[in-house]
Amino acid sequence: MNKKKLLPLCILAGIVVVLALILAMLTLFGGDAEEDAGIPLFSISADALDTIAYQDGDTDVALTKGDDGVWTLDSDTLLPIDQTVVEELAANITGMTALRELGDDADVDSMGFATPEMSISFTSGSDSYTLTVGDQNSMTNSYYARLGDDGPVYTVSISDLSSLCKTPKQLYQAQDITEIESSDVTAMTLDTGSETLSFTLTDETWVLDSDPEYELDQDKVKRMVNTICSLESDWSITHPGSDSEYGLDTPNAIVTVTAEDGSTVRCVFGTTSAEDSEVAYMTASTADGMVYEINSNHLTAFAYTKDTLKAETPETAEESSDSE
């Protein structure tokens, strides 16, 4: 065969190879995309849900959406709930997909549905849905899951289920203790039980009312103001017991701040939790009948006396350095 005939054949062979490679890539990546998309388990939008309930070994939560569109916890309707977290939860549930659907010949009785690892249910109007999660399939890194009591059986990725059963703590909406900005505070009172100190902001300088000439450490006073105005709760005890349970009958400190417009917020700081030293209790005039849990480190912001609030002068600084 001469070179003139051989050249077209080589070009044709090259084109065939290129087309084969393109087809292989399309098959490979197209297959992955289809597999990654998964099999949708529900055909309903998250916005349409009226209730959500789920249980696993440690968590049993039920949520209901009111006529105003606000989600509440059934077991404690007064607990502040982060609406964004619930909306994301609803979207994750309704958007769940399965890795594959098992056939009618699947051995359902051996998949753990009688003693499920997890159960997720929700309603929309008169329609109700339940997904029961059985045993783990370690070979495929998935769980067996079944729709309804006798519906189809699927395998669902562990990662898709791992973050669904959120605890009430994870659903909680942290509460601002006050809406007063620190820059608006013009007066403050600190009552530690042993002494009461009142401060007034005069010409951008904090002054001790009982001793206006007293040199105050401005940073320490500002720290108290900033702490109150930026304080957030870690948890709300909506049905508290007696004050003595939280050390509120003999508080560590009572702090009252007054804003430029005359509005005030009074905060009472109790003791730390016997179970967790990082948790302290407090109440605020902004939420009657509620006890808040806060980080106990905040208590140090109010652990001052008149003596410890005295500004450091060059002489006292030198004395402090010599003592070290």
pLDDT at 162: 87
pLDDT at 115: 93
pLDDT at 150: 86
pLDDT band at 292 (very low <50, low <70, confident <90, very high): very high
Which residue(s) pair with 81 in the sheet? 172
Q: What percent of the chain has pLDDT over 70?
A: 85
Q: Indicate whether 211 pLDDT > 90.
A: yes
Residue 108 CA to residue 104 CA, distance in Å, equals 9
The token pair at 293 is 């849990």
Q: Indicate whether 249 pLDDT > 80.
A: yes
Q: Comparing C-alpha atoms, which of 197, 194, 172 is closest to residue 256?
A: 197
**Across 170-189, average pLDDT:** 97
Average pLDDT of the residues of the chain:
89
pLDDT at 182: 97
pLDDT band at 14 (very low <50, low <70, confident <90, very high): low
pLDDT at 170: 97
pLDDT at 137: 87
pLDDT band at 28 (very low <50, low <70, confident <90, very high): very low
Q: Comparing C-alpha atoms, which of 207, 203, 234 is closest to residue 218?
A: 207
pLDDT at 19: 53
Q: What percent of the chain has pLDDT over 90?
A: 78
Residue 65 CA to residue 86 CA, distance in Å, equals 10
Give the β-pairing of 291-295 and 279-284: antiparallel
The C-alpha angle 274, 279, 280, rounded to 5 degrees, equals 90
The token pair at 308 is 């410890």
pLDDT at 33: 39
The amino acid present at 322, given as its one-letter code, is D
Alpha-helical runs (H) found in the chain = 3-37, 83-94, 158-161, 168-171, 218-230, 314-323
CB neighbours of residue 281 within 10 Å: 25
**Across 27-44, average pLDDT:** 65
Residue 19 CA to residue 13 CA, distance in Å, equals 10
Residue position matching structure tokens 């890539």:
25
pTM value?
0.81
The token pair at 305 is 């006396």
pLDDT at 199: 98
Q: Is the pLDDT higher at 16 or at 195? A: 195
Radius of gyration of the chain (CA): 32
**Angular region, 251: left φ>0, alpha ψ -120 to 50, beta rest:** beta
Residue 8's alpha-carbon distances to 3, 13, 15, 18, 185, in angstroms, are 9, 9, 11, 15, 88
Q: Is 207 exposed, middle or buried (0-12, 13-18, 19+ CB in 10 A)?
A: middle
Please write the tens of the pLDDT for every residue from 87-123.
999 999 999 999 999 988 889 899 999 999 999 999 9
